[in-house]
Each structure stands twice: as C-alpha cells, then as structure tokens.
Chains A and B, each alone.
Chain A
Amino acid sequence: MSSMNDQRFFDLAMKAIAGQATDAERAELDALFVRGPELKTEFARLQAEVRFMREVLPLVNATEATTGEFPAYARERLQTVVRQTLGRPEKAEQSKPLQPKIVLVGEPCSAMRPARDRAKKRSVTWSWLLRVFRGTSLPVIQVGILERAGKISQQPMSPARAKSRREEPFLQTSVRRDDTDLLKQTWQNAAVHSFINAKDLKDWESESGKKATVKIIYDQPAGEVRVLGEWNGKTLNKTFPIERDLSTTLKLVKNYLDHFIAA
C-alpha cells in the first residue's frame, strides 16, 4: 500500500474505531477490507492500540499534574521511612547545625540555672536574662496536646479512609509517651493540657485568657506544632511543620520563642 493509501486507511480505521466515521467512510473502509483482507488484522491491531493509548496517556499526563497539596499528616510518616531506609545524612547534619539555647522560655525557675549553663547562651539571651533579673514578667506558657484515644495503629490513616471506616481520624493512633515527655521536658513548668478531640483543642486555642500567654500546640494529626499568643503587645502565630522529627521541631520552636521574647 502506498503511503498515501496507508494514511487514508489509518484515518478511516481511526474514525471507525472512535465511532466518528460517516456512512460513506465506513463503506470506503469495507471496500478496502475486500481488496486487502490483511487490513482486517491491521484494523484489530489499531483497536488494541487505541485501547492502550486510552490507558497510558492519562499516566503520561499525570506526570505533569501540579494540583494538589501534599498532606501535612503524611510528612512525619514519610520522613520516618526516609530515615529508616536511607539513614541521616552526615553532610546535612553538619551544614545545618541546630543550636538550641538552653534558656527555658516562660519558666521563671530557668533564671536559677547554674552559671555554667548560662555561659553557653547566645547574645540574644542576655537581653532576656536582663529582663528576668530586672523582674520583668514572662509570658505564661501552656502546652496543648491533641491526644488520640483508642486503638494504636502503626500508620496514620488519611481522614478519607478513616471516615470510610466510620471512625474519627483521631481515634486511629495515639500520641506516643515519648512525645509527651519531650514536650514536658522542653517546657518543664508549663501547664500541659491534653485533648482527645480536635474540636476541644480548637476551643482551647481560641480561648482568650491572659494577654501574656503563649500556647504551644502539638497537633500530631496535622504534623505540626503551632505557637499562638500575645507578648509585649505583639501577637504570636506561627506554625512549625514537623519535617524531621518532633524533637528537632521543638528545638526550633524554643529558639523562635527565645528570640521573640528577648526582642
């Protein structure tokens, strides 16, 4: 078959397969089948290829999809897989040192720390210390933890799957004891409030108490730590996604609070 006839057969076949052929085109195709019976095999091949294209093109297109926000609840789970599979990078640890200050924000007793500890603090800490020794009040720190009651599962589940199983997402896993201890160690004198559902936590978050109050919320389902409150006429409202682990994130939160209070 000449290349022109070849193209004509292809066009007629494609239109017929897609159900777009006119009666005249259908008759022309039938006439081609009579003259060249081998074209029936070619037609069947094209049918299979059309089906293949309809399956594969959406996958090819998906590689260029850009919509959809990576869900926060999946961060920690995936970063754990990264750590377990690939380990912690030495280079990254060296290039991005985290140097948390030793001062405990919002804890009056922290000013009583031994001199050797205070000597390690960065300059920004001195203004904070001066404030302490001059008797300036400090914000009250409160910690809120969204506890998850019920059975403990290994992996956090998407809200959609949890809903389909007629269970509340917060019932799927539990805040680990280690995590709670870590929060208590970080802000030793802070009041710790535990919540077993997100609504109660939200109500607590939006409660307006004393002006000099800072609330630190560990929201495990959202994979983040939020800092809210007011201090010295300035409003605090910052979210720290838990990207590496809770301990690292708490160090960042603490560092941030130190700077905020000292400023």
Chain B
Amino acid sequence: MKPPNLKDLCHGDADAWHEAFRWLWPTVKEVAQLKLSPFLPQDVEDVAIEALEELVKGVRTVKVGEELKPLAASIAHNRAVSLLRKHFAQKRGAGQTQSFESLKGTMEDSSEPAAAKSPLDELVQAELSGLIAQLLTDLNPEQRAILNDFYLSGLSYEQIASKHGLAIDTVGVYLKRGREASCRAIKRQPKLLKEMEAFLR
C-alpha cells in the first residue's frame, strides 16, 4: 500500500481516510501492543483507535504522506505510556500520575515493572515522531536488519555474520555506523540528549 494523498486527507475525503486508516492500522496496533501487551492487553485496540483519532486532528501539521506513519507511531506510543502511567498510579491507590523518573527509586517494591519505563517516555509526540522519521531515513534496510539482530534478537557477532554472509569484523562496522546514525538523531532531539546525559551522571 502507498501513502495516502495528503491533500485528500486534509480535505476530509472519506475514501482517502479509509485507505489511510487501513494503511496506518498495523503500525498503531503494533506500537500499542509493544507497550501494553504485558500489562493491559485488552486496551491495545482502543489505544490504536484513539491514536488514529488524534492523527486526524493533527494531519494538517504533516508536510508529506510519508510522515504519517512516524507520527501515528509516536502518538500511539505516547498514548500507551499515558495509559500505563494512569494504570500504575491507580494501582498504587494514589490516583495520581507521576513521571517515570520520580518512580525510579520506588520501583523495587512497587507493582510497576521497570520494563514499563523507557528513555523515550519523556519525549513529546513531535520529538518522538521526528526521531523515528530520522532513523528511518538514516538507516538502510540492511543496517536495520543487523541492528535488529543484535539489539532485539540478541544474536552474537558470529551468528549475525553467518546469517548475513559477512565477515565478523564487518558486523562491528555496521553496528558502529548504526550507533553514529542514532547519535545524529539523538542530537537533533535536545530533550532526549538531556535524558541521555543525565543517565551518565
């Protein structure tokens, strides 16, 4: 499926929106699932739908159709994070929301697992959307496949080399280039850069 015609979407064309919803649905659902499936699996679809609703309201801020997916992913992510915060706040009985930063000290004895937190959670939607779009541009599919194997699948240098038919040394080169791309993307997001620096202190 191709990105929908942004002009038609901005004019409220029902058919164009129907296509856009079908195109964006796998993305918003996947993101909602990533965050919610361990804690609130029953809310995955609702968060995905709410993300699409918010996207309709923000469509005029987008310049090209290709930006819609990063925007949809960032909205779904932030909505899921917000729902998790509410959920854990209610669980603690306080009925108040707190930043994940402030919760760090109390994590060990609370019911909120550390897996619910992420350095991305403090980013506003536009920053996260920009970050995703930047990484999509900077990382080619081959690079991304190797980064996924290392960071997400936990494959060793040897396993990645064998899988992709590369020399072991080349795997390290790919990972380093991936790191450089992520550093460029982080530098463009001042809030995220601050978060990362705070982590080092």
Contact = CB atoms under 8 A, between A and B. Distances in A.
Interface of A: 7, 10-11, 14-15, 18, 20, 41, 44-46, 48-63, 65-71, 74-75, 77-79, 81-83, 85-89, 91-92, 157-158, 160-161, 163-164, 243-244
A15 B137 CA distance: 27
Given A48-B200, A59-B132, A78-B21, 9 more contacts: A14-B150, A14-B175, A46-B179, A49-B183, A54-B152, A58-B152, A59-B73, A78-B17, A158-B46
B172 A11 contact: yes
Q: Which of the listed residues A66, A68, A87 has the most CB atoms from chain B within 10 Å of its own CB?
A: A68
B47 to A, nearest CB: 9
B190 interface: no
B85 interface: no
Contacts of A55: 118-120
Interface string B13-49: 1110110011001110111001000000111111001
B12 A82 contact: yes
Contact of A56 (B11, B29, B150, B182): B182
Contacts of A85: 12, 56-57
Contact of B14 (A67, A82, A157): A82
Given A53-B151, A53-B178, A87-B12, A81 B46 contact: no
A160 B175 CA distance: 40
Top-3 shortest CB links A-B:
A86-B12, A164-B42, A158-B45
Contacts of B154: 18
B130 to A, nearest CB: 12
Given A65-B30, A87-B12, A91-B11, A79 B157 contact: no
Q: Could you tell me the dominant secondary structure of chain A's interface residues?
A: helix
Interface residues of B, number: 68
Report whether over half of chain B's contact residues are helix, strand or loop; otherwise say mixed: helix
Interface of B: 1, 8-15, 17-18, 21-22, 25-27, 29-31, 34, 41-46, 49, 52-53, 56-57, 59, 69-70, 73-74, 77, 118-120, 128, 131-132, 135-136, 139, 144, 147-148, 150-152, 154, 156-157, 172-173, 175-176, 178-179, 182-183, 186, 192, 196, 199-200
Contacts of B41: 160
Given A52-B186, A54-B152, A62-B73, A86 B172 contact: no
A52 B182 contact: yes
B23 to A, nearest CB: 9
A161 B43 contact: yes
